[in-house]
Amino acid sequence: MCEKDGFQPGERLRVSRRAFGVLTGAAGVAAVLGTAGHAQDLAGSDVEITTADGTIDAYFVHPASGKAPGVIMWPDIFGLRPAFREMADRLAAEGYAVVVPNPFYRDAKGAVVGENEELFAAIDRLRPYASHLTPEAVVTDATAIAGWLDGQEAVDASRKIGAVGFCMSGPYTIRAAAALPDRVGAGASFHGAGVATEAPTSPHLLAPETRAVFLFAIAENDDAENPESKERLKEAFGDRAEVEVYPANHGWVPPDSPRYDAAQAERAWSRLLALFKGALT
């Protein structure tokens, strides 16, 4: 499913006090409560990552001391924004060094959706940016980001990297794992769009080139529209993938989404943590 199919005219991102409070801009050093029930001191900042196509603006957060496995967290079509900084902080509090890139850096820096912008209109405006994210561009970015992570003092480069994608970026996790099979150890796609299609360039066909384990969390309305997708994923990845349809609509995971479902988002989050705990070694 395309992002536009999941939203209706008049809907806007849900803005929480927390999302537009301490998590706006560089986070500095913060204490964030993780799902394990413990506080972890974090260091977060806005960073720049050089690629062959330009400079990515990104948010990077990690435990304030020690080294941690690196994770790339790609946002959905609405880009790098407070909700994704919040999710990155939450994952970092579990012991990971997380970078959230602006996927549209070739066309625009910083936030690409206004605080009160109608999402239906925003998607139309952002589609030209998204069209520039070809498979080759995604691999260019993934390679640069992974290399950048491995060069950071806070990252344990001896451990595998994780990749997380939402909707349009769900397929990026597969492409990253195929391009960097020795580095990417786990990939998670939440309500991913186009991860397994009939096209000869479908990401799932790259499964033989990957060594990672995967989590494919599928929205029930996406599955209703394309029930064959989950079967293609199961066949392509076999026992290396957890493929599940969640009783929630497309866009249910980001906390600022109009489709946010707290119970199912927490369930998906727990599966992500289990995946990373077992694979990023």
Q: Provide the domain limits for residue 145.
A: 3-279
So what's the pLDDT on residue 281? Answer: 79
The DSSP symbol for 216 reads E
pLDDT by 10s per residue, the chain, length 281: 444 456 777 788 886 545 433 333 334 434 333 444 455 799 999 999 999 999 999 999 999 999 999 999 999 999 999 999 999 999 999 999 999 999 999 999 999 998 788 988 899 999 999 999 999 999 999 999 999 999 999 999 999 999 999 999 999 999 999 999 999 999 999 999 999 999 999 999 999 999 999 999 999 999 999 999 999 999 999 999 999 999 999 999 999 999 999 999 999 999 999 999 999 97
Contacts by 114-117, CB closer than 8 A, 24 or more apart: 115/13, 115/15, 115/20, 116/12, 117/12, 117/13
If one counts the domains in the chain, the total is: 1
- CA-wise closest residue to 179 among 149, 136, 223: 136
Look up the CATH number of the domain holding residue 96: 3.40.50.1820
So what's the pLDDT on residue 6? Answer: 60
Whole-angstrom distance, CA of residue 106 vs CA of residue 54 = 7
